[in-house]
């Protein structure tokens, strides 16, 4: 039965503490009660952005293109969940989409929307009218079957 249980008073490590840099009976390092620094120091600084007339023009062009694409009617905005509290800023930030009317002469006919029309050959089917027969007719049929 030896070897089972909790060890009878002797603290035994399951690994060699000398492998991690401590000797038997040596004091362990102090506990650090401070959070780590928020960002590590960067040795390599990022390259500064190019500045100049050409870069400013390209940036303005890019922003204008993105704004135009967002105002198009086919831009799919992400639907946000309705919140219980109506926000003041959302009330006044309504997006107005531009109306896009395509030139159908430049596009294929298959893309042009068509109004659905009913086919001339298809007629609605009439339901069979099951009129209740008189009791005399029913009785005559029963007599014929019984004989």
Q: Report whether 98 contacts 74 (CB < 8 A).
A: no
pLDDT at 64: 93
Q: Report d(CA 134, CA 140) in Å as an integer.
A: 10
- State pTM to two decimals: 0.28
Q: Return all residues near 100 (Cβ < 8 A) that are at least 6 apart.
A: 72, 73, 74
pLDDT at 43: 82
Q: Report d(CA 124, CA 118) in Å as an integer.
A: 11
DSSP-assigned letter for residue 109: G
Q: For residues 43 and 92, which has the higher predicted lDDT (pLDDT)?
A: 43
pLDDT at 63: 94
CA dihedral 81, 83, 89, 95 (to 10 degrees): 30
The label of the residue with tokens 């009330």 reads 91
Instruction: Give 26-70 pLDDT, tens digit per residue.
Output: 777 778 888 888 887 778 888 888 889 999 999 999 999 999 988
């Amino acid at each position: 039965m030896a070897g089972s249980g909790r060890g009878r008073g002797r603290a035994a490590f399951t690994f060699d503490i000398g492998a991690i840099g401590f000797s038997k009976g040596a004091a362990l390092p102090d506990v650090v009660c401070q959070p780590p620094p928020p960002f590590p120091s960067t040795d390599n600084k990022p390259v500064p952005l190019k500045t100049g007339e050409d870069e400013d023009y390209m940036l303005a062009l890019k922003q204008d293109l993105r704004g135009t694409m967002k105002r198009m009617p086919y831009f799919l905005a992400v639907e946000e969940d309705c919140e219980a509290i109506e926000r003041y800023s959302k009330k006044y930030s309504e997006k107005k989409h531009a109306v896009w009317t395509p030139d159908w002469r430049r596009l294929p006919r298959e893309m042009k929307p068509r109004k659905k029309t009913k086919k001339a050959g298809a007629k609605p089917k009439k339901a069979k009218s099951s009129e209740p027969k008189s009791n005399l007719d029913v009785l005559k049929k029963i007599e014929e079957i019984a004989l």
